[in-house]
Chain A
């Protein structure tokens, strides 16, 4: 409840919007400060991981293409060597002998798989001898492109073509020149099934693809994705060289691949291997998903933490501001109180100076007159001096009391005679009473028990009630003061035969600022009286009837009020 009150109070006094803005600013600041490293860390981590994974994904592909390319090169080199050996090891006359050629072919086929046939061709392009599954005779190859190529290069491997058997082949042709200038060409046909074997040995994953093409993009082996041998690739291949490289590549179907390709030596062939990117990077995507999740969780956690912490800080700040404000209010309040107190204390001190002069002047008069012979009214004169000296003494007591409350408002409890206080207090008002012909009758119980009470405060109470009584009675009125013993308390009643009070007035009589004396007075009279009596541990009652008068009755305890020590 208290906290609610405090914060409500603070809300009203302090600008609430200020705290909201402050909270927002702090949250943003801390969040940015905390999130920035997190974001950069996550980004860096992602890209590092990405590039590492790329290497990890691309490198095997590159290696595989490299290895396979070498396999192809080795395969073809062996076969070129074999054909080349045959072309150079035997004279033309022997090679032209079909039987001899058939024997050689048999031996060669045993050593190297894949040869389909072999032929000896003269420099003029005419078929000289042939061993193979076809019945070939009297053919001239002069017009064939491979023939022109072999004349120029000396050795030649053709693109794949479908032979007469409708089966993919390549031609290996080697030209041999004798020392005497004669030349001939040995031409062998290879079954490209071997190519398929080499590619199959790559051990491709599902979704991946590998094939040979020529430089024009015509498939030389089967492709899982782009068709059969001699089909045209539906896309243009990126430029290739002899070192396999890996690149990202999007085919016409829109799918992205890692593509590695390399030229195969001695040929026009390009070895191509493709691996779909999503599958290659599935680990990365999984990592990225985890990363995003962790990141989001981190953000939520940071925001939650920051928000909670900020709320607590702001709450504390608000509370401390409210406390400080209350302290300032309290301080200003005490300052005001202390300014009256200090001024009152100053006056209490300062008033002693004129009083001291009055005292000395009266004393001097006394001194001088004591040295004078009698004169009429001398006794009365001396009595007046005595009266002045007594008055000064009374003032002394009052300033002392004023100093007391001006410094602190504590109650100073002493064991006192109530009757004496009553008599003394009546003395203050006697002159006014006499002037207005009001009688103040004192019906004081003899041998009244002394009670622990505060002299000054009790005197104020009596003075206040007597003042009210004097105000209430008409000239020639009557006031009665009664004291009596009432078991564990002492009673004090002050009654008058004045105008009295209505029931309505009586109801409000103890409220601060309530007064019936419109023209003057603090308006605090009865409420002060009430406060003091309560502080002294007593009770106060008022009986009054309009036109009949008022009686104020006070009961004071014979024991000291709780928590108040008695000072002897």
Chain B
């Protein structure tokens, strides 16, 4: 089996090597820039642009991520780690041996470790927290939980907030459980809520890692976030008041039980660790060229502490399973590696297209692709394109900082769209599938992939997003 994989990898590399040379003979290739930090000085290294065919592993991986869990669930469940690693290795080997560009690989590895350290630490820390609410569900109580979830999503991530609140949310609605309750939870807590900070949603965190200021998102998105959240919870309220549920004689104590306080401290450490970055605090040592910095060391330590010390009873109550984070870790190895050529080519092409691209175009294209692909890589691709429009390079932190100041509307449109449209499908954002899985483990049948889209996303979210577009980007 291993021998076959090696032969396959070698053949693919040979194919790309030959086609790269042919293309290079016919057209003058552009160049990609990568920022390298040496002795605390930033140096831009220029490399040959990749062969356009090298986008194929990325496209194949995204298509498989979108279709695997739905159309060939059990095959995907067993083989996704191998598929992701093999596709990622093809791109990595191409960069290493054919383009001789190790800088892009190192840069990407550092970004991957930052990304996975944050997600894993939030996942393990929030998995050891239990909230039990013994109250009778009312539309007002549900709205309050959703609003609370939207706010804390910005502090503990949409993943953390979803894991923390989905169980109490379905528990209090036990006698009036309907799929729309979970769908609105996915809309608000698992997606739209987390648009205000880089911790909120993975795409924004990737932007932060590229150099966007932590508070930029709050400063420039709150006035879009607030009316959207108010509108969607109002829609929810009017649907929810029609749900009378089953008549029950059950008595409620009104008690709210909370367990796992030490994990709250872990969450606080994770949050503070986000700022432990040489670019934010000058005293933080730069461990370059190591792809793991002090921030990641702290966050990975939290993972270890959470595994060792989380209350077993709480983990059992939460039916804690490492599979969701294992899946994210493996899939994103492939995504991060295979998207390097896509990012560089998009940036280059957008640079050529220039003024033809408007903020509205970025809003819709980022959004629609974020809905059907994972929103994190989509965000980076369109950020790369928007920066390319101004001749700036996403791989340069100085360029990202310049872009952040230069034209707020483009970065805002991409950020809002990536986060908001992540709610369009189960695969738009990581927590969507996790929530679906938790709810199904409780025995609740959720709408199919397409039913979710045509019953909920199209009639509720699309009109809302058109409104956002008309007001802010038309």
Are A and B interaction partners? no
